[in-house]
Every structure is written in C-alpha cells, then in structure tokens.
Amino acid sequence: MIGKRVQQLRKEKGLSITELAERAGVAKSYISSLERDIQKNPSIQFLEKIAAVLKVPIDSLIEQEESSYKEPELDKEWYDMIKEAMASGVDKQQFREFLEWRAYNRSNAKK
C-alpha cells in the first residue's frame, strides 16, 4: 500500500523514480521495489526523506485510504473505564505495564 501511495504522489508531482531518488538521497532501486510492492516495510528515515521531497506529511504515505478496515469504536463502558483510570492517576506507561504483566501471566498459566 505504501509503495502505491508513493508512486501516486510521485506521479502527481511529475517526478520520475530517478528524480525522486536523487532529491531524497535514496536508492532508485529501493523506490522501484517499494512501488512494485516487493519492499513492504520502509524505515521511518526513508519515509521522512521521501515525504520531504514530495512535500507531504509522513502519515499521508502510510494511510490506507482504500482500505476496507475500520477501527472499531470504543463502547461507552470502555470509554468510562478509561476516563476513570485516568482520573485515578493511571498513566499510559502504567497501563502498558499492566497489559504486559497480564500477557506474561497468561503465557505462564498455559505452561
């Protein structure tokens, strides 16, 4: 998906793969393999260089406009629990640690 988006934006800007590669300081072959969907996970540094040349935010390269996937919405009960946790002083790091602890306990319980 990223490769097709890069290709679309590159063409909209009237740039060849060679021009984009030279301006971004990246390998032409890498852009080509990305656009042909051979490379699928470019580094953030690569995306920053490409986005700068194309004069677009990085997230516009990553977004999947045509994707049928839709993030599920948070129901009211989850939303209220999150608000309550935040109000009680639980921060993001503590919540992540709890999730990691829970996953660890689950994996050990299966052994």
DSSP letter for each residue of 56-85: S-HHHHH--TT----PPPPPHHHHHHHHHH
pLDDT of residue 53: 95
Query: What total of structural domains would you count in the chain?
Result: 2
CA distance 9 to 19: 13
Q: Domain containing 100: what range?
A: 76-109
Asked if residue 8 and residue 58 are part of one domain, the reply reads: yes
What's the pLDDT tens digit per position in 36-70? Answer: 999 988 999 999 999 999 999 988 888 754 444 45
Asked if residue 57 and residue 24 are part of one domain, the reply reads: yes
Asked if residue 89 and residue 37 are part of one domain, the reply reads: no
> Does 56 fall in a domain?
yes
> Does 69 fall in a domain?
no
CATH value at residue 55: 1.10.260.40
Asked if residue 95 and residue 53 are part of one domain, the reply reads: no
Give just the sign of the alpha carbon dihedral 62, 63, 67, 69.
positive
CA distance 51 to 24: 9
Q: How confident is the model at residue 76 (pLDDT cuts 50, 70, 90)?
A: confident
**What's the burial of 5, exposed, middle or buried (CB within 10 Å: 0-12/13-18/19+)?**
buried
CA distance 65 to 1: 9
> Does 94 fall in a domain?
yes
∠ CA 39-43-49, nearest 5°, is: 105
pLDDT of residue 89: 92
Asked if residue 98 and residue 50 are part of one domain, the reply reads: no
Asked if residue 54 and residue 82 are part of one domain, the reply reads: no
> Does 51 fall in a domain?
yes
